[in-house]
Chain A
Amino acid sequence: MPVRILVHYTVNENSSRENYNVLANTTFDRERAKALSDSAEAHWQAILDRNIVCFGQTMRAGFEAQVAMFPNMMNDRVAGLLDQYRNFAIGWKLSSAGGGGYLILVCEKPVPGSIRVIARRETD
């Protein structure tokens, strides 16, 4: 299955607001930390297994674990963007989202307006 990892530039409009702090409302506890840790472990395992579905799904799980700790990473615009891709993306993650960043999508089909990332091994 040809799989694309696509990046979609987005802006967290909250970041332009005065006094916006992405770290506000942060909640750390053992359970949330474990969820993030577990998803990272599973994500790494998916890479080792070359299992693209688990790669995407654990990426999503990791992102959601981050949001559980840092709720200000999310806003309606980002949620709306995700809703657009939910039905055909395998997984996703908002990267560098403190003040805008990239929505990384793992999916089979090209997403208009996105940049396709091609990963090659050194020997390629």
Chain B
Amino acid sequence: MSTTVGPNRWIGSLPKIGIRPTIDGRRKGVRESLEEQTMSMARAVAELLTMNVRHPNGQSVECVIADTTIGGVAEAAACAEKFARAGVGLSITVTPCWCYGSETMDMDPLIPKAVWGFNGTERPGAVYLAAVLAAHNQKGLPAFSIYGQDVQDGGDQHIPEDVREKLLRFARAGLAVATLRGKSYLSFGAVSMGIAGSIMDNNFFESYLGMRVETVDMTEFLRRIEECIYAPEEFNHALSWVKENCKEGREYNPPEKQRSRAQKDRDWETVVKMAMIARDVMNGNPRLAELGFGEEALGRNAILSGFQGQRQWTDYKPNGDFLEAILNTSFDWNGHRQPYLVATENDSLNGTCMLFGHLLTNTAQIFADVRTYWSPAAVKRVTGHELSGRASDGIIHLINSGACTLDATGWHEIDGRPAIKPWWEVTPDEAQKCFEATTWHPAMTEYFRGGGYSSTFLTRGNMPVTMSRLNLVKGLGPVLQLAEGWTVDLPEEVHRQLNERTNPTWPTHWFAPKLTGQGAFRDVYSVMANWGANHGALSYGHIGSDLISLASMLHIPVCMHNVPEEKIFRPSAWGAFGASDYTGADYRACANFGPLYG
């Protein structure tokens, strides 16, 4: 792993993972014989997680192990006290043996919990696992069950592959839950063009994510621009860098609707200032304090934001596309850095999916309109081209400027294949290629009267991606949907013909979902038809399993997914709501436990 670590831009320390080695409390023989094996399990888990799980700033996760093995209530309480002081955000209980379930269990209702019961036969770790999970379920404290497929010998300190996978999945999802908590969604403006996701639902953020919602009127941008509340030296540098690295693209507006060269130059200045200001409002900037703006220097502890833009702002001033695109990208004039998450049109629900994806993968995210389903027949009719390979069942045209990261050009590479890597692994050469693959076209003034610039590129094919979307349904609450699939390449001319039928000044990703032949994944048309809103968020990789685990921790049901059953990992209580009907059980379990934060 690279050693690059960025600053923690959020207030407070990053959450830690607590490891709880539980043990049979009977002394004078039993306990003593198990101490070393139990602590070894804890140390092995801590090492596994520290080596493989990172925070979004690149820092390796820190594990905290209880000072002693936990044989009863007193030691459980001492462990809880240690964890609270250390800032533990999720816990994993490990044991190779029988212990006293309700006396040793983690009782903190707000942190994700898992129990790994060693699959051995010398001592009954699996019996404890079953017993303590029964206690968790009886008390309404859901916990994930981890139990190896194959029996291990008592002294075996190796973590089997299936256990390892579950430990890592739980850790990634649990860490995401813990990281969200206490942070802010920052709403720049209000409702954009009647888009439901921009109708802020504070209750959702507070009750389900443990976050707060901050609202800042878009006039704040005007004030900071007019009163020069930004770092001027950085602006001078940024503008120069942008002129060098952001290629202005072809003008698509008809001559009578084009903005003058002087207006366009001013627009560049404005959009760079907007990007800096949005970032500063999200997370502060100590330079502002030096300039005498102590309040503005603090920021709003935002982990996610959304920019309304349309229409009050964009009818008057340059659009937010540059702001959103550059902040969502892993690099800018200051070099490479953790992406800032900004949802276009203030779609907080799509933004939440970007946030989930970012926290699970540490990569930059794609925000896109779910624009058009292209059947093989329609493509053939329009272009004469026969779709083939992964595209053979049809494709979905995903397109939107603004909040789509430039990392999505696909010019990072893993093993020679297109990828989106965590920001700390992106090389300067890869970053440069992403910028070279992107052009910035003057915004279409029929949409954006105030001008601005929209990023344009074509995403390279053959990247595994997962599209997700969170929807709010009255009477039901939040529901997540997701589709794993691939980006695909089309012949250049076919792409051009299809792309230019719509706004050509936006980035395009041709998406082919994985089909299962059933339900919403019967065919590509059904995926599109079952999508719950006009937007989707895409993450690099097939992360459906992680998203499902994360949603279950937050008690948010998943209505639609194409993840194989054997990859679904939810708290053990979910099985009690219907072991033969995973989706129905998910709904019933989430309804039963209610929002995580009440």
Contacts and interface: CB of A to CB of B under 8 A. Distances in A.
B262 A35 contact: yes
A32 B237 CA distance: 23
What range describes how many residues of B lie at the interface?
Answer: 10 to 19
Interface-centre pick from B227, B228, B262 (highest chain A CB count, 10 A): B228
Contacts of B240: 83, 86
Contacts of A83: 240
A1 interface: yes
A28 to B, nearest CB: 12
A53 B232 contact: yes
Nearest to A45: B226
Given A35-B262, A51-B227, A54-B227, A90 B232 contact: yes
A79 to B, nearest CB: 10
B292 interface: yes
Contacts of A90: 232-233, 236
B262 A57 contact: no
> Is the interface on chain A under 10, 10 to 19, 20 to 34, or 35 or more residues?
20 to 34
A87 B291 CA distance: 16
A87 B233 contact: yes
B228 A57 contact: yes
Interface in A54-91: 54, 56-57, 60, 68, 83, 86-91
Nearest to B273: A57
Contacts, number: 43
A122 interface: no
B260 interface: yes
A91 B232 contact: yes
B235 interface: yes
Contact of B228 (A51, A88, A89): A51
Given A90-B232, A90-B233, A91-B232, A53 B291 contact: yes
B500 interface: no
A31 interface: yes
Interface in A5-52: 31-32, 35, 46, 51
A83 B232 CA distance: 14
B236 A86 contact: yes
A51 B235 CA distance: 17
Contacts of B232: 53, 56-57, 90-91
B262 A68 contact: yes
Interface string B203-244: 000000000000000000000000111101111110010000
A57 B260 contact: no
Contact of A54 (B228, B262, B266): B228
Nearest to B237: A87
Contact of A60 (B227, B236, B263, B266): B236
B445 to A, nearest CB: 17
Contact of A89 (B229, B230, B233, B291): B233
Interface string B422-446: 0000000000000000000000000
Nearest to A85: B236
Interface string B530-556: 000000000000000000000000000
Interface of A: 1, 31-32, 35, 46, 51, 53-54, 56-57, 60, 68, 83, 86-91, 107
7 contacts: A31-B263, A57-B228, A57-B235, A86-B233, A86-B240, A90-B233, A107-B233
